[in-house]
Structure 1
Amino acid sequence: MSENTAVAVDTEELRSLVADALELPVEEVTDEAHFVDDLQVDSLMALEIVVNLEKKYGIKVAESDFKQVSTLLHVRALVDSKLK
């Protein structure tokens, strides 16, 4: 994706994508909710989030990149960095 066609990341859209992957109400996926501690995300759920991100934004997310992610705000920063 070129810089001119980069997709803007909408936080609420991203929140909905993560909530769908985790099969949780959107309200539970707050900006600071810790995926493992607060939302009980396991490795399969994390993989589902990654697959959804890759499909939605046309990016590739390495497993090592996603292991550094623990909140929705971290997901947004990761997607933003991949879209640049």
Structure 2
Amino acid sequence: MEREKIVAIVNDFLVNEFEVDGDEISNDANFKKTLGLDSLDYIDLVVVIESNFGVKLGEADFKNIVTFDDFYSTIENKIAGKNV
């Protein structure tokens, strides 16, 4: 899956399902501060990612995510690893 498509899908569900202001989403924006998610929101986020991309992110994956670019890369790498 192309990165542009991943970004579009992710941004769409963040805006529509997590009520994030789309103007605050940028590659270098701080992922955790921008989203302001609690632990239950992270569970919902994992479910949405799994249903949209067929991959599951774990706690270790989120530890390495600082920016939205990191988040997109993590999903992209999971997808690539799944298809190998």
TM-score of the pair, normalised by structure 1: 0.72
Which amino acid is the alignment partner of residue 2 of structure 2? A
TM-score of the pair, normalised by structure 2: 0.72
Q: What is the Cα deviation at residue 39 of structure 1?
A: 3.4
**Residue pair 2:25, 2:34 contacting (<8 A) in 1 also:** no
Unpaired runs of 5+ residues, structure 2, are none
Structure 1 residue aligned with 2:79: 83
Count of matched residue positions in the alignment of Structure 1 and Structure 2: 78
CA distance in 2 between partners of 1:74 and 1:21 (Å): 20
Q: Percent identity?
A: 24
Q: 1:45 to 1:62 in 2, by over 3 A?
A: same
Is 1:35–2:31 an aligned residue pair?
Answer: yes
Deviations 1:19-73 (A, max 9, x none): 3342122222222221333332222222222211111000121221123213221
CA RMSD of aligned residues (A): 1.9
CA distance in 1 between partners of 2:9 and 2:56 (Å): 19
**How does 1:1-80 map onto structure 2 within 5 Å?**
7-9=1-3, 10=5, 11-80=7-76
Unpaired runs of 5+ residues, structure 1, are 1-6
